[in-house]
Amino acid sequence: AQSVTQLDSHVSVSEGTPVLLRCNYSSSYSPSLFWYVQHPNKGLQLLLKYTSAATLVKGINGFEAEFKKSETSFHLTKPSAHMSDAAEYFCVVSEERYGGATNKLIFGTGTLLAVQP
Amino acid sequence: GAVVSQHPSRVICKSGTSVKIECRSLDFQATTMFWYRQFPKQSLMLMATSNEGSKATYEQGVEKDKFLINHASLTLSTLTVTSAHPEDSSFYICSARVSAGSLSPLHFGNGTRLTVT
């Protein structure tokens, strides 16, 4: 069965410094992986997704993530944090069964990113 | 872009009463919508898949008689929490896909914070 683990529940960085949000997954098949962001009082928004194409995926707002099969990781990074990046980030894997991906998303427990001025 | 509207954003109700939450796709038709629940400090969990014109598919452990889902049109799905109890207090969020296919992006509503007193 698929699962996803976000290693840090809270991450705090200074504005202008790099961001690293860690995610490890477990999957029997080739996974589809996503990062979603949830700003306070707003809905979830897709940042980026990996679907077996290029292993380095670029998303919105300068974020990117690299799929590393050998490490079963899909860490989210950004070179320089901005105050507006403060939010909760979810790593997500699409459940897969025989025949391909399903509609069921399996969410990590989330990482709350704080950006200090 | 695709917008999913969820209403109400917050609701407080007394124990034993029922609460209806609406999820609308504003500028696209959604044959399938999804309902999630998020407990404090935990991840989002898929509750059920709502299919237009047919019965919803519930995840294991979710009481279908307690969480009634109706998807009467291509733009509206409703979740009714019947005979609510304090343990039903949670954050409920809906989502929908613009097009068919499990890898097309999900668009989320802003969520509903339910508090049962």
pLDDT in tens, A65-98: 999 999 999 999 999 999 999 999 999 988 665 5
Distance CA A67, CA A71 (A): 9
A contacts of B60 (beta carbons < 8 Å): none
Q: Are A5 and A25 in contact (CB under 8 A)?
A: yes
Enumerate the β-bridge partners of residue A37.
A45, A89
The H or E element spanning position B101 is none
B contacts of A103 (beta carbons < 8 Å): 32, 34, 49, 97, 102
State the average pLDDT for chain A: 87
Inform me whether the pLDDT recorded for A106 exceeds 90: no
CB contact under 8 A, A105 and B42: no
Segments of chain B scoring below 70 in pLDDT: 1, 41, 98-105
**Overall average pLDDT of the A86-113 stretch:** 78
Inform me whether the pLDDT recorded for A111 exceeds 80: yes
**Is B68 within 8 Å of chain A by CB?**
no
Distance CA A78, CA A82 (A): 10
What does the pLDDT read at residue B68?
A: 96
State the pLDDT confidence band at A102, using cuts at 50, 70 and 90.
low
